[in-house]
């Protein structure tokens, strides 16, 4: 018989084995409880981390440095959270495997392994909670300068209907180390930019470890230089010398500035791959492993070419969210005005397909339609239009076209379509656009004032209909999707009627072949790199031609000879422009000629034959030396003449055969003969020329902008109150008044005078001027720029105001001021003698004003809104404050100057 192998087993050994078995089995039986406990304790840990980080952020805003042990604890919390999130996510699968009342598992090995990991992670979380008690989280350091806000707040909708979930998803993704590049893709108008904006603004609300958030709009016309300039502006790489550097040099500067920082780069509206390395963005390195790039695009393929680590589809809204957004835009008053409207409104909302842009646009269009029949017709129109077009047109453009169709008349519709001549993301100056509308004849033969008012009314209509976006008081922009829809209308719906040729911002180096221009009515080749227009096109129907922003453009002689209908010709910002021979061929048709912001030196005599010219724009033609005599007076139908900063480089060198001779006195004499003139922007080189102007009631009523270049003038005192008679004066610029000592307030009448229309004032190189107290009577002033006025001690003189207290009334100076730029005023000590609210101020820039030791601010000045104060650290550190609360309130506003 074989030997029997026996193991002696006493009671103690058996108990230990049983305890071990039961202990390991407990990992399975307690899995559900441990997962619940881990989820709860993890939430407590994150709450504690957020409390600690709020203390850290507050301390860092006070120029303190976080303690290393706090940073190590935060890093451990982040690492534990990542692991715990994975265990909680995997735990639900293991729970489904449990059997025998939860005491056993269908896969014991897997459940045991996970249960053990959960128990350990729970202990780690509890340990970190216990360790996360810090009496101090930061230590004091010698402050260099007050830190900038991590991000610049951007305007957006009040609510985030339907985007909150994705906002939280992307925000969590930003905390993951593995997700360096994040793509947000989806169709146009779906809310990608809105989502990105809320991500940007969330950095101002939630504590993070990032040093800087940078926002860049890329758009279809990809230019690395533009991206570099936007990044440079945010991180302090600015100035003409830096802008003139090559792309490669700028990339090195950006890389050196950012490689040691943790940044978030937000790129909006990418159409193709952006080579971040060529831009200079550091994608890897020892200290920037937590840097992120988040971009928006219409194309999922771009997510691949950008090597996105994570991508999110920004989809159309669910039916519930779409209805919530739509009813918000329509308003409860309209929805309740007829008992059938609420049901009909839900049908209209459904027809929008969940596209936020369509919901907002159509919702606002329907906001004041309070009859059920109006809603039924709207439903019929939407359904009828949507069935006619396939692909993108079937899903998007008919919905957007509904707002176009809802415009009151063909004039407004034509004005809207005209806006697609401008490039994508282009800020369109309102007055410039209205000049073109009037030049095209959209408003008939009405007087200029009436036509201008009609133009502004139409702009308001288009902004309210969400077909244009208002950037500033004087600028609008066409959303890229809306612009695409407008181009679609001109090309598909009204092709025969409109005949647009639009290549604006297309990166062209050569113009389209002229054989395709024959039937074109409106053409835009602006913002390209076209160097020559050598072929002579035949365009019998052409009404408008935009050639702006082709900097090297050369136009062949005779180019315009076969354009008998041309009314609007724009060639602004063509740096080396020379007007071709043959411009006189446009004499019977041309109504608007814009050659502003060019380096043109002389206007040819043949322009005298433009007998139908009604609007001539010569703004900022600073090198213009000669305008032949009688050229202006021969333009007898001229209604708008823009000559702001015209020829100011050579104003005192003009020859006798130029109307610029004698500082503009000859020009003013010619202007007196223009019976239809209504809008005048003027550059004068002498006080005597100004007096001649002010002696004419006709010219005073026309003046909108006035540039005084007084380099050769000995005038020491100018009566500033005379400007009050210029009822429409919007902009005043005084340059090189070397002898000018005072802009005097002369009380000539009992009633108080006010410069009510004055919005912008710039005074440069007036070395003897002591103050600009007259501006206390400019209640609507928005921009003030003072530069190189060596004798200026006060901007508003308390002594002069005390001399005329009856003139003050209830006026509060600078109550509408948005921009204040003070440069190289070496003895300036006071802006104003007491604090001001500055409820509209956006930016204050102070450079070279070392004696300015106190700003007119108190804690109430920051109540309404924050604004940027740009200045050097050494000046900021010497400032005296009204009280400690004021200093604290404005500490976060300081940024370096441009």
- For residue 690, the model assigns a pLDDT of 93
Alpha carbon distance 142, 65 (integer Å): 10
Q: What is the DSSP string of 810-827?
A: T--TTTT--EEEEE--TT
- For residue 1, the model assigns a pLDDT of 41
pLDDT for residue 14 is more than 60: no
Radius of gyration of the chain (CA): 34
Helix, strand, coil percentages (3-state) for the chain, rounded to 5, are 40, 15, 45
- For residue 13, the model assigns a pLDDT of 38
- For residue 654, the model assigns a pLDDT of 82
- For residue 99, the model assigns a pLDDT of 56
Grade residue 93 by pLDDT with cuts at 50, 70 and 90.
low
Per-residue pLDDT, averaged over 297-303, amounts to 85
Mean residue pLDDT across the chain: 86
Where is mean pLDDT largest: 357-371, 507-521, 801-815? 507-521
- For residue 295, the model assigns a pLDDT of 96
pLDDT for residue 19 is more than 50: no
Give 92 or 447, the one with higher predicted confidence. 447
- For residue 119, the model assigns a pLDDT of 86
pLDDT for residue 142 is more than 80: no
pTM of this structure: 0.70
Q: What is the DSSP string of 352-385?
A: TTT-HHHHHHHHHHTTT--SHHHHHHHHHHHHHH
Mapped onto helix, strand or coil, the DSSP state of residue 519 is coil
End-to-end CA distance of the chain: 101
Alpha carbon distance 428, 477 (integer Å): 6
Q: Which of 153-157, 546-550, 681-685, 878-882 has the lowest mean pLDDT?
A: 153-157
- For residue 811, the model assigns a pLDDT of 63
pLDDT for residue 643 is more than 80: yes
pLDDT for residue 851 is more than 80: yes
Q: What percent of the chain has pLDDT over 70?
A: 88
Q: Which of 132-146, 176-190, 247-261, 457-471 has the lowest mean pLDDT?
A: 132-146
State the Cα angle at 218 between 213 and 220, rounded to 5°: 165
Grade residue 20 by pLDDT with cuts at 50, 70 and 90.
very low
Per-residue pLDDT, averaged over 465-491, amounts to 85
- For residue 361, the model assigns a pLDDT of 81
Give 814 or 21, the one with higher predicted confidence. 814
Q: Which of 53-57, 387-391, 466-470, 855-859 has the lowest mean pLDDT?
A: 387-391
Grade residue 104 by pLDDT with cuts at 50, 70 and 90.
low
Q: What percent of the chain has pLDDT over 90?
A: 46
Per-residue pLDDT, averaged over 19-44, amounts to 71
Residue with tokens 């031609």: 545
HSE-up of 193 (CA within 13 Å, CB side)?
20
Grade residue 845 by pLDDT with cuts at 50, 70 and 90.
very high
Residue 429's beta-bridge partner residues? 475
Alpha carbon distance 377, 365 (integer Å): 13
Of 646, 694, 706, the residue nearest 654 (C-alpha): 646
Of 127, 133, 93, the residue nearest 111 (C-alpha): 93
Q: 519-578, pLDDT tens digit by residue?
A: 999 999 999 999 999 999 999 999 999 999 999 999 999 999 999 999 999 999 999 899
Per-residue pLDDT, averaged over 820-840, amounts to 93
Q: 439-456, pLDDT tens digit by residue?
A: 999 998 778 889 999 999
Q: 180-236, pLDDT tens digit by residue?
A: 899 998 878 888 999 999 999 999 888 778 888 999 999 878 889 899 999 988 888
pLDDT for residue 335 is more than 90: yes
Residue 821's beta-bridge partner residues? 785, 845
Q: 401-448, pLDDT tens digit by residue?
A: 877 888 889 999 999 999 999 998 899 999 999 999 999 999 987 788
HSE-up of 294 (CA within 13 Å, CB side)?
25
- For residue 7, the model assigns a pLDDT of 42
Of 766, 709, 762, 758, the residue nearest 733 (C-alpha): 762
Per-residue pLDDT, averaged over 781-805, amounts to 88
- For residue 528, the model assigns a pLDDT of 95
Alpha carbon distance 225, 216 (integer Å): 12
Per-residue pLDDT, averaged over 257-284, amounts to 89
The alpha-helical segments, DSSP class H, found in 151-292 are 164-174, 192-202, 224-235, 240-243, 247-258, 276-279
pLDDT for residue 23 is more than 60: no
């Amino acid at each position: 018989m074989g030997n029997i192998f026996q193991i002696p087993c006493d009671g103690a050994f058996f108990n230990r084995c049983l305890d071990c078995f039961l202990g390991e089995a407990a990992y399975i039986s307690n899995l559900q409880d441990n997962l619940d406990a881990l989820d709860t304790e993890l939430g407590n840990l994150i709450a504690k981390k957020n409390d600690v980080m709020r203390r850290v952020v507050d301390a860092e805003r006070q120029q303190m440095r976080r303690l290393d042990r706090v940073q190590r604890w935060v890093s451990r919390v982040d690492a534990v959270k990542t692991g715990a999130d994975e265990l909680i996510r995997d735990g639900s699968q293991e729970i489904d495997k449990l059997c025998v009342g939860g005491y056993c598992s269908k896969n014991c090995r897997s459940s045991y392994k996970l249960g053990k990991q959960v128990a350990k992670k729970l202990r780690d979380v509890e340990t970190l909670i216990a360790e996360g008690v810090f009496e101090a989280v930061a230590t004091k350091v010698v402050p260099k300068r007050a830190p900038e806000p991590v991000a610049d707040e951007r305007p957006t909708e009040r609510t985030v209907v339907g985007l909150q979930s994705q906002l939280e998803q992307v925000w969590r993704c930003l905390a993951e180390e593995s997700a360096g590049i994040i793509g947000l893709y989806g169709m146009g108008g779906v809310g990608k930019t809105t989502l990105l904006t809320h991500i940007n603004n969330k950095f101002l609300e939630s504590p993070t470890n990032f040093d800087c958030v940078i926002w860049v709009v890329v758009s279809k016309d990809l230019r690395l230089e533009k991206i570099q300039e936007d990044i440079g502006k945010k991180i302090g790489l600015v100035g003409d010398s830096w802008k003139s550097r090559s792309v490669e040099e700028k990339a090195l500067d950006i890389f050196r500035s950012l490689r040691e920082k943790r940044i978030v780069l937000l790129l909006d509206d990418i159409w193709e791959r952006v080579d971040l390395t060529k831009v200079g963005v550091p994608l890897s390195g020892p200290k920037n492993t937590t840097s992120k790039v988040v971009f928006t695009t219409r194309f999922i393929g771009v997510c691949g070419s950008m090597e996105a680590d994570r991508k999110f589809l920004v989809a159309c809204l669910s039916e519930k969210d779409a209805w919530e957004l739509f009813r918000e835009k329509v308003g409860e008053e309209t929805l309740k005005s007829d008992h059938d409207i609420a049901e009909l409104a839900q049908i209209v909302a459904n027809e929008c397909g969940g596209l936020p842009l369509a919901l907002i646009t159509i919702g606002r269009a329907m906001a004041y339609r309070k009859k059920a029949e109006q809603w039924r017709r709207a439903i019929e129109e939407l359904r009828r239009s949507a069935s006619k077009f396939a692909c993108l047109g079937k899903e998007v453009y008919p919905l957007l076209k509904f707002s176009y169709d809802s415009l009151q008349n063909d004039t407004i519709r034509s004005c809207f379509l005209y806006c697609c001549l401008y490039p994508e993301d282009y800020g369109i100056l309102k007055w410039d656009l209205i000049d073109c509308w009037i030049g095209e004849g959209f408003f008939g033969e009405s007087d200029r004032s009436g036509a201008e008012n009609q133009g502004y009314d139409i702009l308001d209509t288009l902004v309210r209909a969400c077909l244009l976006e208002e950037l500033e008081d004087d600028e609008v922009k066409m959303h890229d999707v809306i612009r695409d829809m407008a181009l679609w209308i001109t090309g598909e719906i009204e092709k025969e009627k409109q005949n647009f040729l639009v290549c604006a911002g297309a990166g062209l180096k050569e113009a389209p072949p002229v054989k395709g221009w024959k039937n074109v009515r409106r053409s835009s080749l602006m913002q390209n790199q076209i160097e020559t227009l050598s072929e002579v096109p035949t365009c019998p129907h052409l009404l408008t031609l935009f050639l702006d922003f082709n900097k090297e453009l050369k136009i062949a002689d005779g180019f315009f000879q076969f354009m008998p209908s041309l009314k609007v010709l724009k060639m602004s910002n063509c740096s080396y422009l020379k007007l071709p021979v043959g411009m006189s061929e446009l004499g019977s048709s041309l109504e608007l000629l814009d050659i502003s912001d060019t380096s043109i030196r002389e206007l040819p005599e043949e322009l005298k034959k433009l007998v139908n010219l009604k609007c001539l724009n010569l703004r900022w033609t600073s090198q213009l030396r000669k305008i032949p005599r009688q050229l202006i007076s021969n333009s007898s139908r001229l209604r708008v003449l823009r000559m702001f900063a015209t020829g100011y480089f050579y104003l005192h060198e003009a020859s006798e055969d130029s109307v610029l001779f004698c500082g503009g006195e000859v020009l003013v004499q010619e202007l007196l003969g223009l019976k239809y003139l209504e809008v005048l922007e003027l550059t004068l080189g002498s006080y005597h020329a100004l007096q001649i102007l002010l002696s004419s009631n006709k010219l005073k009523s026309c003046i909108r902008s006035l540039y005084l270049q007084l380099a050769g003038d000995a005038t020491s005192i100018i009566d500033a109150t005379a400007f009050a008679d210029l009822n429409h004066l919007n902009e005043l610029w005084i340059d090189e008044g070397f002898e000018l000592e005072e802009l005097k307030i002369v009380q000539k009448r009992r009633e108080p005078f006010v410069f009510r229309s004055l919005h912008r004032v710039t005074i440069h190189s007036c070395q003897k001027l002591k103050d600009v107290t007259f501006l206390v009577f400019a209640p609507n002033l928005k921009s003030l720029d003072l530069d190189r006025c060596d004798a200026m001690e006060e901007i508003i003189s308390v002594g002069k105001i005390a001399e005329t207290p009856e003139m003050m009334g209830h006026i509060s100076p600078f109550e509408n001021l948005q921009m204040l730029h003070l440069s190289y005023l070496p003895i300036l000590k006071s802006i104003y003698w007491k604090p001001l609210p500055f409820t509209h101020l956006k930016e204050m820039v102070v450079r070279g004003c070392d004696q300015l030791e106190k700003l007119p601010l108190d804690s109430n000045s920051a109540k309404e809104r924050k604004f940027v104060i740009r200045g050097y650290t050494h000046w900021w550190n010497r400032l005296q404050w009204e009280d400690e609360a004021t200093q604290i309130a404005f500490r976060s506003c300081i940024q370096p100057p441009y």
